Structure 1
Amino acid sequence: MPSLGASAAPRTTPDPAAARVPASARVPASGRVPASARSGERAAGPGLPGEAAAVPVRPGRGRPRSETVERAIIESVLRLLEEGVPLAELSIEGIARAAGVGKATIYRRWEGKEALFVDVLVAMEEPEPPLPGTSVRDDLVAILEGIRRRGLAKRSSAMMHSVVGQARRYPRLWEQYHRTVVDVRRHRMDAVLRRGIADGELRGDLTVELLGDILAGPMLTRTLLRTDSSLDEGLSETLVDALLAGLRPSA
């Protein structure tokens, strides 16, 4: 099975006048090339397809244009997936051709295919609803509502369901997706639960991790395991109210 990764090859002819993009800037936690490094393009190097070598830093073209190009690249990946191209068969060359850009344009924005595919998965996700902040109960309802809506989106989109399933087969991509998306959502819930314990709204004899599992578990079961079960409007409120009855401190 082909690898999704793209490794960086060293320059064979050093150019003293060329400013190299620091490795720390090219490999952030999310795998995304930071905006400060995107003016330094990467060009395809020798060897396997997808290998890259750094080239001289060029002046930036402005953030609005950068966002337009990034969106065009992500939409090209989505279009290829909709046409039935498996995730494993997508190549930087094919993506660049579909988007009408050069490979260097993609490498200037993403470290490799894993980082690009993480952004594609994020683009396919339902945006997180804002937390109202009025009470722990209301914030937990908003979090569970986000899970419910993502479940509905995956059920209604065969492509999304397929791509998420394929991503599980690639440990590096799946780990990156968890770090960039799933862990962020978990930390969001943890912060609400800690506030609930501190304010006396939630019992303090259970760990935040266990409280999160108790609250999110029923909704995740319906969205991931029991995909034939209903995800009706009002389910988030029903679950939170039922669970909070047992999670409030005793008198």
Structure 2
Amino acid sequence: MERSIIEGVMQLLEEGVPLADISIERVARTAGVGKATIYRRWPGKEELFVDVMRAMELPDPVLPGTSMRDDMVVLLEALRRRGLANRSSAFLHNVQAQMKSSPKLWAAYHATVVEPRRLLGLELLRRGQRDGELRTDVDVTLMNDLFVGPMLLRAVLRPDADLPEGLAEQIVDTLLEGLRPATP
């Protein structure tokens, strides 16, 4: 049932219906369910839209857990692939642009999709500090921005920039050269 509701919203979006024009009633008609069925799962359309966006996202990567470096490469590679998917899909790009015009919807998406990924990156970096893979005198929030920033810049702000295979490794290895503890 939940899947048919999410697919109903996706169908409306693919037909070009703006987010602002999608009502719970319209979703119910498209999905072939009653409004009460939708409201039992989602308190409002913003929460439903967040789940729709989550369903459109590539699945979160499985981290190898072999080292902080390897895990960071996997995280950045997932970000690179998301960037490629958004570039190749005018539909995804359009939906994300519409979401940004709704502060409540964007905040909900940020809290349920973006923030958990950021927190995972911070935990990986803290683990790297504990395990001696990273300097301990650098703030992990700044380090996370340094790792993620170049990929986000290329994926989101510079659609003309390449997102080649191996970019994740190049970013991580370049940064690790400066963030590794000095060896005596």
Question: Is TM > 0.5 for Structure 1 vs Structure 2?
Answer: yes
- Counterpart of 1:53 in structure 2 is none
1:236 is aligned with what amino acid?
A: A
Aligned-pair distance for 1:101?
0.5
Aligned-pair distance for 1:239?
1.1
2:63 equivalent among 121, 131, 156: 131
Aligned-pair distance for 1:222?
0.3
Quote the Cα distance in structure 2 between the aligned partners of 1:248 and 1:124: 37
Q: Deviations over 1:122-178 (max 9, x none)?
A: 011111111000011100001101100110110111111011111111111111111
Relative contact order (C-alpha < 8 Å, sep 6+): which is higher?
2
RMSD after superposition: 0.7
1:127 is aligned with what amino acid?
A: P
Q: How does 1:1-251 map to 2 (within 5 A)?
A: 69-251=1-183
Quote the Cα distance in structure 2 between the aligned partners of 1:145 and 1:230: 14
1:223 is aligned with what amino acid?
A: A
Quote the Cα distance in structure 1 between the aligned partners of 2:35 and 2:172: 48
1:151 is aligned with what amino acid?
A: G
Higher helix share: 2
1:163 is aligned with what amino acid?
A: V
Which 4+ stretches in 1 moved above 4 angstroms? Answer: none
2:91 is aligned with what amino acid?
A: M
SS in 2 for 1:200: coil
SS in 1 for 2:41: coil
Quote the Cα distance in structure 1 between the aligned partners of 2:57 and 2:85: 8
Quote the Cα distance in structure 1 between the aligned partners of 2:71 and 2:17: 39
Higher strand share: 1
SS in 2 for 1:178: helix
Q: Which runs of 5+ in 2 are unaligned?
A: none
Q: Deviations over 1:49-92 (max 9, x none)?
A: xxxxxxxxxxxxxxxxxxxx000000110011010000111011
TM-score by length of 2: 0.98
Tell me the percent identity.
62
1:74 is aligned with what amino acid?
A: I
SS in 1 for 2:58: coil
Quote the Cα distance in structure 1 between the aligned partners of 2:29 and 2:12: 11
TM-score by length of 1: 0.72
Q: Deviations over 1:12-54 (max 9, x none)?
A: xxxxxxxxxxxxxxxxxxxxxxxxxxxxxxxxxxxxxxxxxxx
Quote the Cα distance in structure 1 between the aligned partners of 2:27 and 2:164: 38
Q: Which runs of 5+ in 1 are unaligned?
A: 1-68
1:105 is aligned with what amino acid?
A: T
